[in-house]
Structures are given as C-alpha cells and as structure tokens.
Structure 1
Amino acid sequence: MTEPIRALDEHDEPALLRDQFRQLLRYRALLVTGVVLGLVGSGWLALSGEDTYAATGEVSVRSATSDPFAAGASADKGINIGSERQIAGSDAVGTIAAGSLAKHGDTVEVGTLLSGLQVTNPPNTLVLKFAYTGRTPEQARARAQALAKAYLEIRRERTEDSIDNMIDGYRTQLKPLTEQRDRLAEQETGTGGGITGARAKLIVAISGLDQKISELRALDTTPGYLNKKPVAPTQPAGAGLPLLLGLGGVVGLALGLLMSWVRLVFDPAVRSTRELVRSLGAPLLGSLPRERGAARALLAIGHPGSRLAEEYRAIAFRLAYDPSFAERRRLLVTAPRGDNDMARAAAANLAAAFAEMGRDVLLVEADLRTPSLAEDLGAVHPGRGPRRPAGNEDRTWPSDSRANVDVPGSGAFTLVAGRPADNVPRALTSAPVSRLLAEGGRPGAVVIVLAPPVLSYADAVALVDRVEGVVIVCRPREVHRSDLERIREIIGAAGGSVLGAVLHPGHGRLERRTRAKAPETGERRGRPAAQNPAARGRYGDPDMAGRTGDPAETLGLRTVDGGPGHGDRNSAAGHR
C-alpha cells in the first residue's frame, strides 16, 4: 500500500539550523551593506587619525631598609602596589614631570601630560610600567622617562620626609631627658645613691633615642630603580591599516547578520520550504527550475533534455501515486494571488505529463475573467470551419470550447478553453460544468481545472466541492505565511484538501523586462508578438473553428464539437 506524502520532521535541529543560516544568507544586500560599512568605518579610522607613538619604561619599587643584604623577611612585602600605581598617575608626579620637561623646552600642562600616560603592573611583581603615547617618537620617550623619574623622585622625597619627621620626634623626646640629666649631674656632688640611680636611668633612655635616630639616618632611602629606560619607538602604535580593515570586515559581517536577522524576524513571507509545509498543511510536490530560453514556451514537456519537463513529470508521478488524488483523479491548480501565469503553465504541463502516462486528460480553463490558455497553447489560431446555425441552443461556456492539444512526442489531451462570461459564479456552478468535472470518474480519466488565484477571486472556492484536490503554485518569497494558512482554511471549509505545493522560481530579469515592455494583450501573456491581436476571434466562435493545414504545425488546437453532429466528449487517445 502506498503511504501518503508526509511533511518534514520539525524536530531535526541540524536541519533547522541550516535552514535558518540559509534564510540569513538570502538577504545578501544587507550582508554586503554591513561589510561595506565596516570596511569604510575602519578605513576612515585608519586614515583620518594621526599617527601616535608609544614609549615604555619600567620601574622596580623598593622600600627603605637599613641592611638590604640582611637575611629574613623583606621590607618590600609591605608595599601596596595598587597604591603605588595610583601615586604614579597622580597630579603630584605630573607636576614634577611637567617642571622637568619645561626645562628642556617641552611646556605642557599637567592634565594634558597625564592624559597620555598608562601605568600597569605585571602580576606578582613590584614593577610599574610607564607607557606614554605621544605624537612623535621623541616626545613619547622624553615624557615617559620624565614621568618615571618624577615618580622615583617623589617617592624618595616622601621617604626622606618621613625619616626627618621621625628624627624630629625623637629629638623632641630627647631634649627634656638631656636637660634633666644635666640637672642631676650638678646635684650629684654630696648626694646619696638615689640621684645616681635616676641619672643612670636617664642615660639609658637617652642612649635608646640616640640609637633610633642613628638607625633612621642609616636607612637606604632608594625608592626604586629604572630598570628599562624608555626608547624612542620606530613605528606608530596601534593597529595598522590591514588589521583595521580585517577587524572592520568582521564587525561589518556581524552587523550584516544582525540586520538580516531583524529583517528575517519581521519578514511576513515564507522563509523556507519547511515553513511553507507547516503553514499550508501539505507537502512540497516539487520546485520548478528556471530555464533560459524557455520563457515564451508554455509547455516544457515535449522539449528534449528539459529539466523543467522532468520536474513536471516527477510531480505528476507523485500525484498519481497519492491515495488522495488516485481516488477521484480531479485536480484544481491555482495560485495564491496576483499573477496566474505560473499556475497556467503548471496546469498545462501536468496535463501533458498525465497524457504521457496514458491517461485520458481533460484540462478545464475555469479562468473566465482573463482566459488565454487556448491562445497560449496554439502556435496558430484555428481556421474557419463550418458555421453553426443561429438558434436558441445554449452557446454559453463550456459549450463550443473543446479542443485537442497535441504534445510532440507525448500524446494529446483535451482542452476546455475559457471564455469571458457575464456572470462568472453562475457559469462555474452550472450543471454543464458539473457534468464536465464528473468525467474524472471514468476509468483512466484525469480532470485538471485551472482556476484564478484563490485569494483574489472566489472562483476556485466555487469549484472545490466538485474537484476536492488542490495544488497551489507559488513563489516562496512572494507569498505570506498568513496567506497560506488562510488558503488551507478556505479550501478545508469548502470541502476540499490541499494535495501539495509547487514552487516556481519566478521570472528572470530579462523576462521581467520583456513583460514590462510588452503590451498587455500580446507578449505580456507569452504569446508570439508577430500575431495580430485584431485578427483573433473569441475561442469557440463558430467562425473560428478548424485547422490551418500548416505542415510545419507540431502543437495546435483542433475543435472537436464544431458541428451539430459532434458529441460533448472527446477522447485524446486518437491523437496520440
């Protein structure tokens, strides 16, 4: 038993990611715009800015110590390197450095000087890196060195000031003790041992303070060392033009992807075949390729080596083995809205494909508002045939509309061409049309109905209850998801079902240009421009029946019910 055509799995995450990436790549203009903006911005930054130069000096920080070679704990462990970084970038250091630079002719304000300084500290070290960015190499070197020396100088001054303050404090404590010792020395003659003991204690205290003062004076107050003197750089600092262009391209690509994603989020059109299947509730039957040079040929079947013809054959085989279609063998072909040319081509080629399979095909053009299928399929117009007597017999559509269409090398099918009607809904719901559509019930018969766009007119809905199976021909980028959901609801409410969708690539640039320049009644519909529109009569007119007898004719229309003696039905088997 043949399984019905199923929709794609919606939980295939790799496939979903691939679809989303392909959808983003659809907006090539936005991607290119983002890349161009990134390249232009990076190029502007590289060319408009002035060249700057960076010089770096390194300073190792140390604490004051009495014996730098003594074993044991180092005094440098008490240094807070974070505080030292703040001091290195302070206004005090900037003031000293500005004064030093002014002596060499480089007059600069403290704020301006410090704006080009960057002080960093490598991890787990007592080293400060003074990096200065200037407009010239020599300026960067001189200012980096001046700032490093200013930091060492201010550190030395603060250390020496601290020592002097401590010495002054000890001396303040020492002065009263010395005076008291001198007084006791004067009273020591002729006195007892109490004065001698007090004087000895004062001498011990004075000796301790003198020792502390001596130790402070013996401290090594070296604040640090300039390990690496700044050197004038030979090349400008910062990224060069190639690197900036590369970064700009990457940033621009990211910007383009972001714009594409925003456009994708707010795009109402169908973004992928997976989304089309989900919105329409029916499988994708096929995607029609674009063929060069085949823009004016309605029938692709009959042309050897045509990829388009092979795709139509594949769609016909899928429908033939679909249980929903095989049960009734009636098919309605239509478009969502707008141009119906692709639906017209799909209906004609599906009819030719079923004729190749040996089916008795009846193609009904139910587009009574702008009928053109008969002229599109005919290389020449039917010639003059016998005139019907004027009487009260019913001449409304679909009477006098049957013709055989020969497909070179594939067979033939019967066409019921459309004609303009005063009341289209009444004509489509008439009893003759119902009997015509009922021919699909005959063994080996297939009825294909071409209807106007389902969202533009109600003609397709009027036929759904008698045709049941519907094929939607659309272009993904031109149809909205809401339109497909509405089509599914309308057809389901009318008693039919959507068998699937056929995607077409649309018109190429050359064809769109030709269609825009062509007149509405001639080339615009794909008919040969050499035909004279004034010479055309309404198809089905008794004066326009018969054949031309042109021996070069390979594809033509031949009326079947052109006289009273002809029946209402015609089998295409005799013309294959």
Structure 2
Amino acid sequence: MALSDYTGIVRRRWLIVVATVLACTALAWAYASTIPTAYVSTTRMYVSMATGTSVNDSYQGGLAAQQRITSYPYVAAGATVAERVVDRLGLTLSPGELQGKVSATFPPATTLLDISVTDSTPEGARRLSRAVSDEFAQLVTEMETTVIGAAPAARVSVIDPAPLPTAPVGPNTKRILALGVIAGLGLGFLLAFLRDRFDPTIRTPQQLGRSVGLPVLGTISRRNTDAAKDIGRLRARITAARGDRDRMVVMLTSCAGHSKPCVAARLAKALADTGARVALIDADTSGEGLTGRLDLQSYPGVAEWLRDQYPSLTELPVWSEAGVSVLPLGSADERTPDLLTSDRFAGVLSGLGEHFDYVLVAAAPVLTDAAALSLSAHCDATIAVVELGTTKAPRLQAAVDSFATSGTGLVGVVATVPARTRRFPQPKKMWRTQSEPDLGLVYSP
C-alpha cells in the first residue's frame, strides 16, 4: 500500500482514531487518579573498613569496602531490617509490605549507599528512611563483628540524613496521559486499518475498478463545477464508442438500492450541447426516475406507447434548458414492467433511432428490477452507475454477474460521489421541482 492509501484510511476513519485516542486518554487519566501520591526520602551512607594507617592499608580497605557494598543493598532492603523497623516504630505494616517501600542502590566504583523509602506522606517517608538506615547500620555492625568486644571489620555511617520531601514523585500524570495518547493513536490506526480492510464498501474509483474488473468510464464529483468536466469526459467516451453509426442506444442503470437518473440526465444534456439530437427515456418503474424529477407525470410516455395508446413517436416533450427530448414513463400499471422487456420496447427504441443520434435509457436499479437485464439486450451499450461510499462490493459483484449471466454484459461503470452536505444541491439548471410551475417544456414536431 502507498502512503496515499494510508492517508485515505485516516480521512475515512478519522472518527475511529479520535474516539480511540479519547477513550485511551480517559482510561489513562482514570488509572492515574487511582495511584496514591508518593513521596521519597533518601539517606546516603558511607561504608568504611577498619584498616591500618599506611597508604597500602587504606587502599586495601577501599577495595574491601567496594566488595562489601555490592551485598549491602540486599541487606538494607531485606526482611531482617524490615522486621526491626516494624517493631521499633510499631507499624501496622507487615515486614513484606515495608520491603516493597524500600530500595537501596550504590553509585559504581564508590563506597556510598543510598537507601530510599517511599510513603504516602513526606513525614512518613523521612521517618521510615531514617529508621531503615539506623537498623541497617546496626545490623552491619553485628554482622562485621567477629570477636566479642572487638571493633567491626566494616562500618556504615550516615553522611546525608533523609530530608523532608518537598514534592511528590508520583503519580506522573503527564507521562501517563502521554502514554495514553500514544497508545490511543496506535490502537486507533490499527482499528481504522482493520475496519477499512474488512469493509466491503466501495469508496474509491481505483477500488471500484479492481472490484468489478471493468473500466471506470468516469467519476461524477460532488461539486457541480467538477461534475461538468466529469460528464464531459464521459461524453467523449460515448462519442468515441459511437464511431460511424447513425445512432447509439445507451442504457444506464444503478447498482445501488435506489435509482440514479441524474447521471443519465446530465449525460443527455452534455451530448445535446454538442449539437447532437438526444432522446432520454425514463424506463424506471420504481417511481424514482426522471418523470418525477422533471415534473412530467401528466405527460403520456413509455407506458402508453407500449399499450398502443399513444403510438406516435414524432412528438416528445422537450427539456428546453438542455435541448433534450424526453420520453417520460407515463401512466404505468402492473403490465408496464413486462412490456418493457418485450419486443414492443425494442420497436420504441428503433423508432426513436430514426429521429435521434443518441437514445439514452434510464432504467431501474438492476438488483431491484430484473427488467434492466432484458432492456440491455436492446441497447448498444449498458453502463452501471455506482455510488461511492454506499455500494457494497458483494452487491456490486452480484449486479455485474447478473449482466454477465444474461449474456449482455457491461461496457463499464460510472462512479458517483453522494451529496452529503448542502454544498451539493441538485443543480437548478438540471432539475425543476414541483414548486416551479414553469418547466420550459414544449412539444417538438
């Protein structure tokens, strides 16, 4: 995957990343609030050996002290010292609990020993640190005295008594919160990647092309200015595909659960802008087709032609702003879907082909109306309209397979970006609503 693929995942799944970061940060804050405040007080001690007065004796004593001090941290933090401190101070803590508060370290190549004790209060930390150092020094004296009444071989003395801590050492809330944010980012990106990886939704033209194995003839953008350019590119492909033929019949159907008549209407207008004679047929019996969009419910149309109630094809209402002749659905009944798949509709297409350069058929979604499969057999080319961001790959593949099974096949697909905001209204010059009585429709002989 390229870097652009990862940035695309973040753009699409940013809500998952943000939610995960907020959740991990909240958990980190909750965890930090459960950690009690801790203070540390440290006593520094010096280890010396009983030696002679010569330089060599002092040197040997220093080496012996360094050897001793490697074992003293274990003694200082051991159970014996803890038991003595508990008995001395009358603590409610057990020796094991006190051991968990004590740590002892020594700087390398020195005879210094630091005994640190952690407690919930500054006074408690200092009190425990001094008690531990005193009991440790007493225990060392006992251990290093080999002959009763003689001086101990090693001696431990306090050089820096435990001070009163002025600030707590924990919890480090900032660090915990920072770790929470980092963990949230990592987990959020992982969840976003997994969600995107296993999401069957078609979101990009590249993904659309890989999914169906068909050429993507164009992508209709959300913005009207970009959509005009996109439709122009689609028009160029249709014009090139027509070649030297006198007329070309193109069917457009949706692979979504609802109709997409706007693509057929925009393509018809774009073809008409070149001076071509264009007829636009509404063959969508779902009720979501062009007839309602162009307020042509009162006009006779396909249904009447198929029932031989309006046999003439020489007069069609004209969408004046686009220069496109429109054959609306008309008054459809229960017979209309069956008649659309009959030879009568092929006769309608043939009759229109004598008067127009392009005949565009806006059919119902192929997965909700099987008539689209039969209609495609009467057309020179069939194009599927796929809405990015809402169409699922299995549903799309089922639509493609249905055309392949019927023996017609698709010449390509057109991707559309759904209008999610008010910045992408229906073009006023493309559609008229019922609140606008002047539709600019006239009859052309």
Give the shorter-chain TM-score range.
0.7 to 0.9
Partner residue in 1 for 2:382: 470
Structure 1 residues 255 and 501, CA, compared in 2 at 3 Å: closer, same or farther?
same
Q: Residue type of the partner of 1:97?
A: V
Q: Alpha-carbon deviation of 1:477?
A: 2.4
Instruction: Spell out the pairing of 1:35-74 with structure 2 (5 A cutoff).
Output: 35-47=21-33, 49-59=35-45, 69-70=55-56, 74=63
Q: Alpha-carbon deviation of 1:365?
A: 1.6
- For the Cα contact (< 8 Å) 2:291–2:297, is it kept in 1? no
Q: Alpha-carbon deviation of 1:159?
A: 1.6
Q: Alpha-carbon deviation of 1:554?
A: 6.0
Equivalent of 2:417, from 487, 500, 504? 504
Structure 1 residues 244 and 321, CA, compared in 2 at 3 Å: closer, same or farther?
farther
1:20 matches 2:9: no
- For the Cα contact (< 8 Å) 1:371–1:417, is it kept in 2? no
SS at 1:505's partner residue? coil
- For the Cα contact (< 8 Å) 1:273–1:284, is it kept in 2? yes
Structure 1 residues 48 and 504, CA, compared in 2 at 3 Å: closer, same or farther?
same
Structure 1 residues 346 and 557, CA, compared in 2 at 3 Å: closer, same or farther?
farther
1:528 matches 2:403: no
- Distance in 2 (CA, whole Å) between partners of 1:86 and 1:248 is 35
SS at 2:163's partner residue? coil
SS at 2:132's partner residue? helix
- For the Cα contact (< 8 Å) 1:473–1:504, is it kept in 2? no
Larger Rg: 1
Instruction: Spell out the pairing of 1:451-470 with structure 2 (5 A cutoff).
Output: 451-470=363-382
Q: Residue type of the partner of 2:271?
A: F
- For the Cα contact (< 8 Å) 2:86–2:94, is it kept in 1? yes
Equivalent of 1:101, from 69, 89, 92? 89
- Distance in 1 (CA, whole Å) between partners of 2:203 and 2:244 is 28
- Distance in 2 (CA, whole Å) between partners of 1:324 and 1:240 is 75
- The answer to which structure has the higher strand fraction is 2
Partner residue in 1 for 2:125: 140
Structure 1 residues 290 and 510, CA, compared in 2 at 3 Å: closer, same or farther?
closer
Partner residue in 2 for 1:354: 271
- For the Cα contact (< 8 Å) 1:55–1:233, is it kept in 2? yes
Structure 1 residues 365 and 382, CA, compared in 2 at 3 Å: closer, same or farther?
closer
- For the Cα contact (< 8 Å) 2:320–2:442, is it kept in 1? no
Partner residue in 2 for 1:331: 250
Structure 1 residues 404 and 254, CA, compared in 2 at 3 Å: closer, same or farther?
same
- For the Cα contact (< 8 Å) 1:355–1:413, is it kept in 2? yes
List per-residue Cα deviations over 1:491-534 (Å, max 9, x = no partner): 2332222422222224547999xxxxxxxxxxxxx873548xxx
How many pairs were matched up? 431
1:423 matches 2:340: no
Partner residue in 2 for 1:152: 137
SS at 1:473's partner residue? strand
Over the residues paired in the alignment, what is the CA RMSD in angstroms? 4.0
- Distance in 2 (CA, whole Å) between partners of 1:137 and 1:266 is 55
Q: Alpha-carbon deviation of 1:456?
A: 1.6
Q: Alpha-carbon deviation of 1:399?
A: 4.1
Instruction: Spell out the pairing of 1:315-464 with structure 2 (5 A cutoff).
Output: 315-321=234-240, 329-340=248-259, 343-370=260-287, 372-378=289-295, 395-396=307-308, 399=311, 403-408=316-321, 410=322, 412-419=323-330, 420-424=332-336, 426-438=338-350, 445-464=357-376
Q: Residue type of the partner of 1:347?
A: A
SS at 1:316's partner residue? helix
Structure 1 residues 396 and 53, CA, compared in 2 at 3 Å: closer, same or farther?
farther
List per-residue Cα deviations over 1:243-296 (Å, max 9, x = no partner): 5444433333334334333433442222443222210223444443445xxxxx
Partner residue in 1 for 2:77: 89
Where does the alignment leave 5 or more consecutive residues of structure 2 unmatched? 426-430
- For the Cα contact (< 8 Å) 1:65–1:219, is it kept in 2? no
- For the Cα contact (< 8 Å) 2:349–2:359, is it kept in 1? yes
372-381 or 127-136, which deviates more: 372-381
- Distance in 2 (CA, whole Å) between partners of 1:464 and 1:324 is 20
TM-score (norm 1): 0.64
TM-score (norm 2): 0.80
Structure 1 residues 243 and 142, CA, compared in 2 at 3 Å: closer, same or farther?
same
- Distance in 1 (CA, whole Å) between partners of 2:206 and 2:244 is 23
Instruction: Spell out the pairing of 1:553-564 with structure 2 (5 A cutoff).
Output: 553=438, 555-558=440-443, 560=445
Equivalent of 1:259, from 191, 203, 214? 191
Q: Alpha-carbon deviation of 1:234?
A: 1.3
- For the Cα contact (< 8 Å) 2:252–2:361, is it kept in 1? yes
Partner residue in 1 for 2:428: none
Structure 1 residues 529 and 433, CA, compared in 2 at 3 Å: closer, same or farther?
closer
Structure 1 residues 46 and 230, CA, compared in 2 at 3 Å: closer, same or farther?
same
Q: Alpha-carbon deviation of 1:489?
A: 2.3
Q: Alpha-carbon deviation of 1:80?
A: 7.6
- For the Cα contact (< 8 Å) 2:295–2:433, is it kept in 1? no
Equivalent of 1:221, from 154, 169, 176? 154
Q: Alpha-carbon deviation of 1:480?
A: 1.0
Where does the alignment leave 5 or more consecutive residues of structure 1 unmatched? 1-12, 168-216, 292-299, 301-305, 513-525, 532-549, 561-576
- Distance in 2 (CA, whole Å) between partners of 1:325 and 1:135 is 91
List per-residue Cα deviations over 1:181-203 (Å, max 9, x = no partner): xxxxxxxxxxxxxxxxxxxxxxx
Q: Alpha-carbon deviation of 1:458?
A: 1.1
